[in-house]
Amino acid sequence: MTHFPIQDFSKLSTPFYYYDIDCLLKTLQVIEDETKGRPNFHVHYAVKANANPRILQIIAQHGLGADCVSGGEILAASEAGFVGNKIVYAGVGKSDWEIRTALEKGIHSFNVESLPELDVINQIAGEMGKCAHVAFRINPNVDAHTHAKITTGLNENKFGIAMEDMVTAIRHAQELGNVKYTGLHFHIGSQILDLSVYVSLCNRINELQNILESEGIVTDNINVGGGLGIDYDNPDGNPIPDFKQYFELFEKHLQLRNGQQLHFELGRSVVAQCGSLIARTLYVKEGHSKKFVIVDAGFTELIRPAMYGSHHYTENISAQASNSESKTEIYDVVGPICESSDVFSTGESLSKTHRGDFIAFRSAGAYGEVMASTYNCRKLPVAVYSDSI
């Protein structure tokens, strides 16, 4: 359970991100425990979830690789201590400088998403006198049963290469002089709670592997992406996802060939529960039919509710700390941004709230700070850590 040091918070300017380092360390320890007996399992942290330098350094120190989707993320991962040959690089629009940066850092592989991209990688690698290792991102047409905006494995998504084009793409790579085909990459979506969809993914990969073997194509690496979800409704009850069941599922259902290496790209499940956005109540506004808690954080600090319609467990941590009032009231919790969509939640049950009370938006360690903006000329939120406050 995350402890919020309210007395220390009173000295800080809000809004800010509060990171429970102990929660992060415990999560990383579970991942390490569940994979240490599986030497062919390799976990790459998805940097897009949270690129806070301190968070990256801690994850790198625990031996994880990095999954990057931009040249900036490759540089951030490298600066934080991630080893180059543990970095995988995906993305539908890799620019020339990003490709060069990846090659200079000696990354493990490019997750290639189109044949034009493959040709450019080959050209740039040739100019640099290097050989680029490539894995093809294949759309397995598996429905992740999650939000439409974070589903990525269907045929109509912009990502990846169709299954029907897989062999042609690999044959083309084998004809080029400066790339080497090393594997297949998949990523079907994010915030996946129905683990049965991963069984469907395994079955599809097994089918594709059979096709490749019939073509005499050797595949060294299988990358199943990430997407494992977390419990946004009960962060204290379920602070760490069920990594045991997750890894066991792939071990049971995926028919790996002798010597094949299995790669994972976990992001949200690693960092979401360790982070909370802390805001201060500016006003409690009494409407004719509802009450509003107006806080000093908005979608400039946490855009997920406005972008995805998502909900973060919300607490009046000042009231909880004082234990002075047990009465709860129903509020719409809103921010100060000059947009009607700047709403964290409607019909939220909170302890009776007053001006100055601290409000915590939980499970915000993923896609929170990293997506913050300066819209309305606001300052970016700072980060505060539980072990240094």
Task: Compute CA distances 188 → 26, 45, 102, 299, 325, whole Å.
Answer: 27, 16, 24, 27, 45
pLDDT band at 325 (very low <50, low <70, confident <90, very high): low
30-55 mean pLDDT: 98
Same domain, 102 and 126: yes
CATH of the domain at 115: 3.20.20.10
- Per-residue tokens: 210: 């059979």
The Cα–Cα gap between 116 and 100 comes to: 16
pLDDT at residue 312 in the model: 98
Residue-wise pLDDT for 135-147, tens only, equals: 999 999 886 655 4
Residues 215 and 289 in one domain: no
Residue where a domain stops, chosen among 213, 240, 266 = 266
Residue 341 lies in a domain: yes
The answer, yes or no, to whether residue 354 has pLDDT greater than 70, is yes
326 & 294 share domain: yes
Of all residues in the chain, the percent with pLDDT exceeding 70 is: 96
- Condensed to tens digits (0 to 9), the pLDDT of residues 278-303 reads 999 999 999 899 999 999 999 999 99
Interacting residues of 333 by C-beta distance below 8 A, sequence separation 6+: 292, 293, 295, 314, 343, 344, 345, 348, 350, 359
Domain that holds residue 46: 38-266
Confidence of residue 150 (pLDDT cuts 50, 70, 90): very low
Residue 359 lies in a domain: yes
Is pLDDT above 50 for 149? no
In a domain, 32, yes or no: no
235 and 354, same domain (yes or no) = no
- The pLDDT of residue 218 is above 90: yes
Of 243, 266, 289, which one is at a domain's C-terminal end? 266
Residue 234 shares a structural domain with residue 314: no
pLDDT tens for each residue of 2-18: 999 999 999 999 999 99
Q: Answer yes or no: is 186 within a domain.
A: yes
The pTM assigned to this predicted structure is 0.95
Residue 23 lies in a domain: no
> What element of type H or E holds 9?
helix 6-9
Res. 120 pLDDT band, cuts 50 70 90: very high
Q: What is the pLDDT of residue 153?
A: 42
Please say if the pLDDT value at position 168 is more than 80.
yes
Number of domains in the chain: 2
In this structure, the answer to whether residues 140 and 161 fall within a common structural domain is: yes
> Is 193 part of any domain?
yes
Looking at the fold, whether 307 and 247 belong to one and the same domain comes out as no
Last residue of a domain, one of 215, 246, 266: 266
Residue 158: is its pLDDT beyond 60?
yes
Kindly state whether residues 241 and 327 are assigned to the same domain: no
Tokens matching residue 109: 């592989």
- Residues 240-265: pLDDT tens digits? 999 999 999 999 999 999 999 999 99
Beta strands in the chain (DSSP E): 16-19, 41-46, 65-68, 87-89, 109-112, 132-139, 161-162, 179-185, 221-223, 261-266, 275-286, 291-295, 314-316, 328-334, 343-351, 358-361, 382-385
Taking only the tens place, the pLDDT of each residue in 181-214 is 999 999 999 999 999 999 999 999 999 999 999 9
Residue 26 lies in a domain: no
Q: Would you state the pLDDT for residue 273?
A: 98
125 and 228 co-located in one domain: yes
Q: Look over the chain and give the mean of its residue pLDDT values, rounded to a whole number.
A: 95
Tell whether 362 is covered by a domain: yes
Same domain, 295 and 178: no
pLDDT at 144: 63
- Specify whether 214 is located in the same domain as 119: yes
When pLDDT is averaged across residues 64-74 and rounded to a whole number, the result is 98
| Same domain as 336, residue 378 | yes
